[in-house]
Structure 1
Amino acid sequence: MTISMTTLEAETGGAPSVGVAPPAPRQGVWHHLLRNRGAVLALSYIALVALLAVAAPLVVKLSGWGPYEFDQSAIDPNLGGLPIGPLGGISAEHWFGVEPGTGRDLFARIVYGARTSMLIAIAATTLTTLLGVLFGLLAGYHGGKVDQVVSRVMDFLMAFPALIFMIAILSALPASNRAPLLVLVISVFGWPYLARVVRGQTMTLTQREFVEAARASGASGWRIVLLEILPNLRSTIIVMTTLAVPGYIGTEAGLSFLGVGVVPPTPSWGQMIAQSMSWYAVDPVYFLLPGTFLFLLVLSFTVLGDRLKDVVDAGERR
């Protein structure tokens, strides 16, 4: 059961303790977010990219070109494959121009790149959240040897330079089915950060009177964790999860940029940025378009996470 404000006031003499106040009602969170212009813009862009990712086949069909189709007539072989026309070959036929050297439609590849980035980031965030919450609850509630083992594993993983080890691990793994491997590797190095926060708050909540009352009534450990403790961690988990998504989007793009992420010809924004490095002097559009989409998506999730954190913190203070 989530702690009610009345219960908290009765237990603390009228002032709720910091860190165990109930999360703001869902309607209240959305109400405050939608009153903030930055949060509305961030949500709008995230919704746009999500829509492009979900409806990628339909969107690309409307544009007339698939992400793997070559249009040799759109590039000039005498100039090393440079797109014909201004701004990287932007035209009514190719809305964002074409890839230098191949003639593949840039709009189609950006749309499918959005699907790649969103799927990997959301899958990694989901797995990371499940692992972080599970191990954080185990360590915080049981304490003792369980806490020592989980804490040492967290310290071990957090001590690693994660990016270097991700590159080393992915370089040694087969290139086929790289997306699931990316999700797994990112999650293995990502879950301790959430688990550490969940562990600390769980240890605080286990000392509260409502948990002691549940124990006295004969409730099992899992029942106490699921019905008494977890609901009071909801706000923390939501905020940290939202703030983790841009990091995982950037990690996927960075690994693809370095050549150990998504394998060509599967479109990826990081991979496109890497390929544009040899063309940016003569075709800067090829670099700017995927770079702008990536930057705005990371920025939008970061702004949304910050605004959500502000709303939750304000609710807890109240």
Structure 2
Amino acid sequence: MSVQASNLESEQLPDPTAGPGGDLSKIAGQSPTKLAIGRFRRDKLSMIAFVVVALYFMAALAAPFLVKFGVLDPTSFNSDLIDGNSGGLPIGKFGGVSWDHPLGVEPGTGRDVLSRVWYGITFSLAIAISATIIAIGVGTVLGIIAGFTGGWLDAIIGRSIDLTLSFPQTLMLLALSSMGVALLAQYLPGDASSDIPNGVYVVLVLGMFGWPGIARIMRGQVLSVREREFVDAAVLLGAPRRRIYFKEILPNLWAPLLVTFTLTMPVYVSAEAALSYLGVGIHPPTPTLGNVLRSSINYSSADFLFFFAPAFLIMIIVVSFNLLGDGIRDALDPRAAR
């Protein structure tokens, strides 16, 4: 009787190790990275955002070469395309749109809008990436130290985070801009009105005011990682703190770091645009998305395309980065609902 019951159960219960259709090879050898990539590729909205972001990086990298070979010309004045009797507005409809100038020309100067917007992507991207790297680098190191060490060192870093967050970032940047740029101009090539000191100043301020939130995120992750067996083993073997920080703990933070990077980048893209609008940062004639948008404000009604082009591009970039960050976060978390 028991033998028959056992045979019946073996016929009814499926093999728990078999994949769909009983083929074990379909589920064998799937690493967490491959599973995350598969989940990400099934998210159509995230894939669209990934393509947009990839095109954004490609455009930023290609712009300097296109300017060098004369394909783009963001600085040349075309006075023959400007109507002096209408206050400097472009000649023709839609801001002087033509085959040579697909987005028209800039009022007052006649510079090609497409060239300025495209070339501006490069400088906006350089500022955003540099500030993001500084913020993530400082925040990650301090977050690891605070989370693993604890005690009085954790308390000092925590109070430093609270102190940094208490400063109004934008007001501080505006108030210290003249002094900060003049100080950097003493150590960097160019004077206080050139692009390098102004750009470096914006990068440093954004990065040094952006690390506290990242440090808190990393500290919370480290509090979980430090309880794992491999960390305990490294401590018992007498590994130095530096090795524990950067060889044992840091490799296990790549997932939150990747998500943090994709979510921080759009913040600094929009921050650069806002600061350029307020007159801080790289100044014309060198274009960024921010200062091109600032130049277009006075012509938003008379030449709407000139205003719409940089504003729309900033919006697309920020939304795409945010969607990409959300998609990566969901792909790396197998428990997230899709």
TM category, shorter: 0.7 to 0.9
Secondary structure at the counterpart of residue 33 of structure 1: helix
**How many angstroms apart in 2 are the aligned matches of 1:214 and 1:173?**
44
Secondary structure of 1:190's counterpart equals helix
CA-CA distance at 1:64 after TM superposition: 4.5
Other-structure match for 2:208: 188
Which of residues 150, 154, 176 in structure 1 aligns to 2:161?
154
AA aligned opposite 2:48: L
Q: Give the corresponding residue for 2:24.
A: none
Q: Distance in 1 between matches of 2:282 and 2:91?
A: 29
Answering whether residue 270 of structure 2 is matched by residue 250 of structure 1, we say yes
Identity of aligned residues (%): 39
Q: Secondary structure at the match of 1:87?
A: helix
Cα distance in 1 between the residues matched to 2:49 and 2:38? 15
Task: Show the counterpart of 2:330.
Answer: 310
| Deviation for aligned residue 1:145 | 2.2
TM-score by length of 2: 0.82
What's the TM-score once normalised by structure 1's chain length?
0.87
Aligned residues: 294
- Which one of the candidate residues 270, 286, 308 is aligned to 2:306? 286
Match in the other structure for 2:295: 275
Asked if the contact 2:66/2:72 (under 8 Å) is kept, the reply is no
Which deviates more from structure 2 when the two are superposed, residues 48-57 or residues 297-306?
A: 48-57
Q: Structure 1 residues 62 and 223, CA, compared in 2 at 3 Å: closer, same or farther?
A: closer
Deviation of the 1:142 alpha carbon: 1.6
202, 224, 231: which one aligns with 2:222: 202
1:48 has 2:55 as partner: yes
Amino acid at match of 2:153: V
Q: How many Å separate the matches in 2 of 1:181 and 1:299?
A: 26
How far off is 1:62 after superposition? Answer: 7.0
Cα distance in 2 between the residues matched to 1:210 and 1:61:
52
Mean CA deviation greater in 239-248 or 52-61: 52-61
Structure 1: distance between partners of 2:328 and 2:72: 39
Classify 1:265/1:214 alpha carbon distance in 2 versus 1 (closer, same or farther; 3 Å). same
Comparing 224-233 and 179-188, the one that deviates more: 224-233
CA offset at residue 99 of structure 1?
A: 0.3
1:144-200 CA deviation, whole Å, 9 max, x = no partner?
222122111111011222222222222443343211111100001001111111112
Pick from 11, 20, 34 the counterpart of residue 41 of structure 2: 34
Of 104, 120, 123, which residue of structure 1 is paired with 2:127? 120
Aligned to 2:243: 223
Letter in 2 for 1:156: L
Most deviating of 190-199 and 34-43: 34-43
Aligned ranges for residues 57-68 of structure 1 at < 5 Å?
57-60=64-67, 64-68=71-75
- Is contact 1:246-1:301 (8 Å) kept? yes
Greater CA radius of gyration, 1 or 2? 2
Measured on the aligned residues, the alpha-carbon RMSD in Å equals 1.9
Code of the aligned partner of 1:66: D
Q: Is the 8 A contact 2:123 2:288 kept in 1?
A: yes
Most deviating of 300-309 and 134-143: 134-143
- Structure 1 gap ranges (5+): 1-23
Matched, 1:264 2:271: no
Hey, what's the Cα distance between the residues in 2 that align with 1:209 and 1:48?
A: 42
Q: Which amino acid aligns with 1:124?
A: A
Q: 1:5: which partner in 2?
A: none
Deviations 1:186-240 (A, max 9, x none): 0010011111111122123223333222211222222222232222211111111
Contact 1:64 1:93 (8 Å CA) reproduced? no
Contact kept? 2:124, 2:269, Cα under 8 Å: yes
Cα shift at 1:315:
5.9
Mapping of 1:3-22 within 5 angstroms? none
Structure 1 counterpart of 2:111, from 104, 108, 120: 104
Query: Aligned-pair distance for 1:261?
Result: 2.0
Letter in structure 2 aligned against 1:139: A
Q: Greater relative contact order: 1 or 2 (C-alpha under 8 angstroms, separation 6 or more)?
A: 1
Query: Among residues 300, 303, 320, which one is paired with 1:300 in the alignment?
Result: 320
Does 235-244 or 40-49 show the bigger shift?
A: 40-49
**SS state at 1:90 partner:** coil
Secondary structure, in 3 states, of the residue corresponding to 1:314?
coil
Cα distance in structure 2, aligned partners of 1:187 and 1:92: 41
Other structure's SS at 2:333 match? helix
Amino acid at match of 1:58: F
CA distance in 1, matches of 2:33, 2:274: 35
Q: Which amino acid aligns with 2:261?
A: T
Q: What letter matches 1:136 in structure 2?
A: G
Contact persistence 2:330–2:336 (CA under 8 A): no
Deviations 1:40-95 (A, max 9, x none): 21111112121111111333467745111001111111111111111111101112
Q: Is the 8 A contact 1:52 1:59 kept in 2?
A: no
